[in-house]
Structure 1
Amino acid sequence: MSPESTGQNKHNFTAYRRGFRTWRGDRPFWAGLFTMLGGAPIAYFPYADLRLGNMTLAMSTTAGAGSLIIGILLITLGLTMWFHSIVRVFAGVAAILLALISLPVANIGGFLIGFLFALVGGALSISWAPGVPKADEEDPYADPSPLDERRPEGPGHAEGALHGAAVPQQQVGDHDAASGHDGGTHRAG
């Protein structure tokens, strides 16, 4: 290695990793992944062959076409969750319904593997909500805004009344020593 060589550039890997993290945070990533992982065994098992020596076990049943359709729809819904997250609730409900339909139609939901993955993916998709951008969040360490802007005007609203605290009002007949004003009625004399 010569002194002029820049060595390995680790910045590119870090930039790609941060970009992926941002992309993943803007959508229901895990919901889409679980839904696609649920669709794969549902579509695969009816067409798979297990070979034990010279003996071949096939899981081909009359539900082969139904399994393939359910599996492909689940994979499509997982991709929809990733790339069109605005319809995440619809995709989540559809994934849960397809997972439930796969129990009787697709070899017990891909031997329960696909059923459980699709069910969890659908539930995650329904419960996911986009985050609030940092600029819109309130800073918990910022100085509170003055209460004068939010205080209602008029009689009976004293300091602390906004927060539900009972603050005693000055009695009408009390004498205010600072102003020399008697709180009672005045008579012109």
Structure 2
Amino acid sequence: MNPQAPVHAADDHWLTVMRLRFRAWRGTRPFWAGLFTLLGGVPIIYFPFADIRLANVTLAIATTSGSVSLILGVLLITIGIALWFQQGIRVFAGVAAILLALVSIPKSNLGGFFIGFLTAMIGGCLALAWSPGVPVEEEPEEDAAADAAPVDAFQGIPGPRGTETPYVTEKTFHADGGRNSAG
């Protein structure tokens, strides 16, 4: 494949173009951290207000902590959305998501029966671990013959003066024949 070829042609299907745009957008922000944090808030909100029906029997899990569950879940959903659009708050959002997930264990039916707790913890940890990437700058291509250093046929003979490196490392020590350019 030719590296100078365009990534996608102008006649690509609109779904392909949208998928590629979404992929580029997703790669510049802590997307998965926001998604896991957002999904962690849903079971924390849902379970205290849910009614489960088994035949004619209604099983209600509602407790007095319904308002606390609602607040914790809404905060986790808000933090998840904020991670998508404000990458600068990732450390604060990660710590807040972890703390809210921990608070949800005693206050919200074991953190949404550990489903919301685990997903919010994973989201908070991903937010703390994410760091923005540094774009790679392309170096201009120079003449390969000008960059080529003289090569000796014998391994033990050092090259001419001026070809050794200005500092000695483990690899360059042997490549320079043991000489240091400063000495």
Match of 1:31 among 30, 33, 42: 33
Structure 2: unaligned runs, 5 residues or longer: 1-10, 149-161
Does the residue aligned with 1:51 lie in a helix, a strand or coil?
strand
**Structure 2-normalised TM-score?**
0.73
* Residue of structure 1 in register with 2:109 after alignment: 107
Does the residue aligned with 1:163 lie in a helix, a strand or coil?
coil
**Structure 1-normalised TM-score?**
0.71
Give the % identical residues: 55
Alignment CA distance shift 1:114-1:132 (3 Å): same
- Aligned counterparts, 1:1-189, within 5 A: 10-134=12-136, 136=137, 159-164=164-169, 165=173, 166-167=178-179
Aligned partner letter, 1:167 = R
Greater Rg over alpha carbons, structure: 1
Alignment CA distance shift 1:113-1:168 (3 Å): closer
Kept in 2, the 8 Å contact 1:32–1:81? The answer is: yes
Mapped to 2, the partners of 1:66 and 1:103 lie a distance apart of 11
Kept in 1, the 8 Å contact 2:30–2:84? The answer is: yes
Kept in 1, the 8 Å contact 2:166–2:180? The answer is: no
Kept in 1, the 8 Å contact 2:167–2:180? The answer is: no
Structure 1: unaligned runs, 5 residues or longer: 1-8, 147-156, 170-189
How many residue pairs get matched?
150
Q: CA RMSD in A?
A: 2.9
Shift of 1:163: 2.4
Kept in 2, the 8 Å contact 1:158–1:167? The answer is: no
Shift of 1:10: 4.8
Mapped to 1, the partners of 2:15 and 2:72 lie a distance apart of 37
Alignment CA distance shift 1:107-1:138 (3 Å): farther
Alignment CA distance shift 1:159-1:78 (3 Å): same
Aligned partner letter, 1:124 = L
Shift of 1:11: 2.1
Shift of 1:161: 4.8
**After the TM superposition, which parts of structure 1 deviate over 4 Å for at least 4 consecutive aligned residues?**
142-146
Mapped to 1, the partners of 2:55 and 2:166 lie a distance apart of 84
